[in-house]
Chains A and B, each alone.
Chain A
Amino acid sequence: MKPNPLSAKDQARVAELIAAHRGQPGALLPLLHAVQDALGHVPDDVVPPIARALNLSRAEVHGVVTYYHFFRRAPAGRTVVQVCRAESCQACGAEALLQQAEQLLGCGRHETRADGAVTLEPVYCLGLCASSPALQIDDRLHARVTPQRLQALLAEVPAAADREAVR
C-alpha cells in the first residue's frame, strides 16, 4: 500500500489539469509543472492517468518525472532552502554557507528534516553570479549573503527539536 494515496479532491484536480493540457503539443512538461504547482509535488499516483491521457507508457512518464531535478516525487518541507553551489558562488564561500545551513537547520543537503519543517538543497546557479553567494528561501532570493545574514534568515525556520512550534 502506498502511504499517501491521492485524495478524491486531488484526483479531481489532476483530472482538470490533464484536460487543460492534453491538447497542446509536447504537453508532458507543462502538465507536470501544473501538477507540482497544484499539489507541491508529483505523486506516483498521477503517473498512470497522465500516461493514459497522453498515450504514453507509464515508464515514459516516470522517466520524465525522475529525469528532471525540478520535479519532486515526495512533498518538500514547509520551507525550502536552496543554496547555490556553482563556481561563482563557490568563489565567494558558498560551500561554507551550505555547511552553516546544515548545522543551523539540523538538516543535511538533499534532505527534508524529519519534522517536515525544512528541505535543504544545493542548486546550480540562480543567475545572481555578480552578487554571489546567493540562495533562495521559498520564493525569495537573497544575494551577497554573509554568515550573519544567513543566520538571521534561517532564524525564522523553527529549530529541529522545537516540534510543537511547527504544528
Chain B
Amino acid sequence: MTTVYVPRDSAALAVGADEVAAALQAQAALLGLPLTLVRNGSRGLFWLEPLVEVVTPAGRIAYGPVTPEDVPALLAAGMLQGRPHALCQGATEAIPYLARQERLTFARMGVTDPLSLADYEAHEGWQGLDRALAMEQAAVVQAVLDSGLRGRGGAAFPAGIKWKTVAGASAAQKYVVCNADEGDSGTFSDRMTMEGDPYVLIEGMAIAGLAVGADRGYVYIRSEYPHAVATMREAIQRATQAGVLGDHVRGSGRAFHLEVRKAAGAYVCGEETAMLESIEGKRGIVRAKPPLPALAGLFGQPTVINNVISLASVPIILARGAAFYRDYGMGRSRGTLPFQLAGNILHGGLVEKAFGVSLRELVFDYGGGTRSGRPVKAIQVGGPLGTYVPEAKWDVPLDYEAYAAFGAVVGHGGIVVHDDTADMAQLARYAMEFCALESCGKCTPCRIGSTRGVEVIDRVIRGDNRAQQVMLLRDLCDTMLHGSLCAMGGMTPYPVLSALEHYAEDFGIAAPQQRAA
C-alpha cells in the first residue's frame, strides 16, 4: 500500500487539489493499484501546487504542479514507485527552496495530516505543553521572555512582557485571545497554520493559558478564511475529546477551554482592541489605550492577545528551550519569521528563515524574480500599511530595528513584489482609498484624512497645482502619522510617502525636482 499526499490547503484547493485527489483515486482503482490518500497541509511551495508526494523507501518524492489530466501518465510512469517524470521534483526535502529554510514554527507544515492527533504526537506534538505543565507558571513566562519572541502580528512587542503583565494581574477570569484576523495582502502564514497544523496553535494557546492563569481562550478568525474556521473548529473538538483541552489539560487538573469566533470582514478588527470589541459583539471600533488589554481586555478582564504565529512559536520554545530559539536571528530580532513571498513573483510561497535574511535573497534567490519576467520595480514589505522598499535597501537584513531605521516595517512578514508596469501613484492612492474604506471612524486623522488623501493624490496626478498639493500631502501624512489612534491611520502614510519618495516620476514629478517638492 503506497501512501500519497495531496494538500488540502486553500491555495492548493484553489488550483485544483481536490480534482487531482479524485483523479488519483479513480485512476489507481482502475489500474488496481492500492494507495492510501492523505490530505496534508501545504509545504508552502505554491508555484508547485497541487504538489503530490509519494512515500517511497527513499523518502517522500514530489510531483508538481499536477493537473487531473496528468494523473494517468504519472501513474503509468511509475509515480507510486517514485520514478522519473517531467513533473517530478525529486525528494521533497531536497528541493532547494525548502532545504535552505529554517523551519521551526512550520516544522510539521505539509508533513502531517493536519487533523490527525497521532500524527501530531509523533512529530513532537504536545511536548512543549507537557513541559509547561511540569513547570512553575512564572518559569513558563520566563522561558518565553528568554526566547526573545516578539509579536509576529506586526507590532513586534515582546510576548513575554505581555504574558508577565497578565500573569501579575489578579482577576477571577482571564483570557487568551488569538488574533487570526490576517487581513494584510501578501500574508497567509496564519491561514496555513490553522489549515495545515492547527494543533500547534491550540498547544501554544494552552501554554499561554497555563502561564498567565487564564482558563478560556478565543481564536478570532476572519470570515474570508472558511477553511481555516472549519479546520480549527474540528481540531478544537478533537483536542477536547482527547483531553488536551477542557477541564483537565493532559490530565493535569488544570482547565483550558477554547472557542473559535468568526470575524465579519472588517480589516480594522486586526487591531487588537477593535478585535476585542468585535468578540464582545459590538462594532469593531478601536479603544483608546490605556487601559492596556493585558490589564483590562476582553470583557474588561486581563487578556493575553497574540497573533497566530506568535502563539504557534511557543510550543517549540518550551519543548527545546528558550536558548534553542534565541540562537536564531540577529540583534533584538530573535528566532525565525515565516516570510511570505507574494504578488508578481515566480516562486511564491512561504520561506521560514531566521531574522537577518535580506529582501534580495528572498525575492531573487528564493522567489526567482517576477513571474512576468519583467524587472522588479517595488517591493512592499509588511502588508498594505508597509513601506515600498526601494532597490537601495534590498540588502538590508530583515530585522525589526534595521527596518525601523529607514522608516520601514517587517510587520507580519508579507512581501509583495511589483514589476515595472506598476503605477506607484495609483498604489499610493489605493492605500488612502483602502484606509477610507476600512477606517473604524473613531479618530479624525484616519476617518477624514484618508478621504482627503485620495483627493489630494488625484490632484497631484492631474497636475493640479502639483508642488503645493505634494506639500499638502506630506502635511496630511504627518497629521495621520502622529495623530491617529491606531496603526490603520497611523501607518497608511508609509506606503504613500515611500511611493512618493522613491517613485516621484509616477506622480508626474521629474526626478530632479523630487528634493525640492
- Kindly report which residue of chain A lies nearest to residue B195, judged by CB atoms: A127
Residues of B within 8 A of A144 (CB): 14-15
Interface residues of A, CB < 8 Å — how many? 40
Contact B284 A68 (CB under 8 A): yes
Contact (A29, B264) CB under 8 Å given A70-B223, A130-B11? yes
List the interface of chain B (C-beta within 8 A of A): 10-11, 13-15, 44, 46-47, 49, 182-188, 191, 223-226, 261-267, 278-284, 299, 340-345, 348-350, 371, 380, 384, 414, 416-419, 422, 427, 430, 434, 438
- Kindly report which residue of chain B lies nearest to residue A61, judged by CB atoms: B281
Q: Nearest 9 A-B pairs (CB), nearest first?
A: A130-B348, A86-B185, A28-B281, A129-B342, A68-B264, A70-B265, A69-B265, A143-B14, A141-B14
Contact B186 A134 (CB under 8 A): no
Q: Mark A103-131, 1 if CB is under 8 A from B, else 0.
A: 00000000000000000000111111111
Stretch from A2-10, A73-81, A87-95, A156-164 that touches the partner: A87-95
22 examples of A-B residue contacts, CB within 8 angstroms: A26-B261, A28-B281, A33-B264, A60-B282, A64-B282, A68-B266, A68-B283, A70-B223, A86-B384, A87-B185, A88-B185, A91-B419, A123-B224, A126-B10, A127-B224, A128-B11, A128-B188, A129-B187, A131-B11, A131-B46, A139-B226, A142-B14
* A27 is an interface residue with CB less than 8 A from chain B: yes
Contact B283 A63 (CB under 8 A): yes
List the interface of chain A (C-beta within 8 A of B): 25-30, 32-33, 54, 60, 63-64, 67-71, 86-92, 123-132, 134, 139, 141-144
Residues of A within 8 A of B225 (CB): 127
Choose one: B261, B266, B350; the contact of A30 (CB below 8 Å).
B261
Q: How far is the CA of A129 from the CA of B11 in the complex (A)?
A: 9
Q: A70-B264, A129-B343 are in contact. List 10 more A-B contacts (CB 8 A).
A: A30-B262, A64-B282, A68-B266, A87-B427, A91-B422, A123-B224, A124-B434, A129-B185, A129-B348, A144-B15
Residues of B within 8 A of A25 (CB): 280, 299
Residues of A within 8 A of B186 (CB): 86-88, 129
Q: How far is the CA of A88 from the CA of B284 in the complex (A)?
A: 25
Residues of A within 8 A of B267 (CB): 124
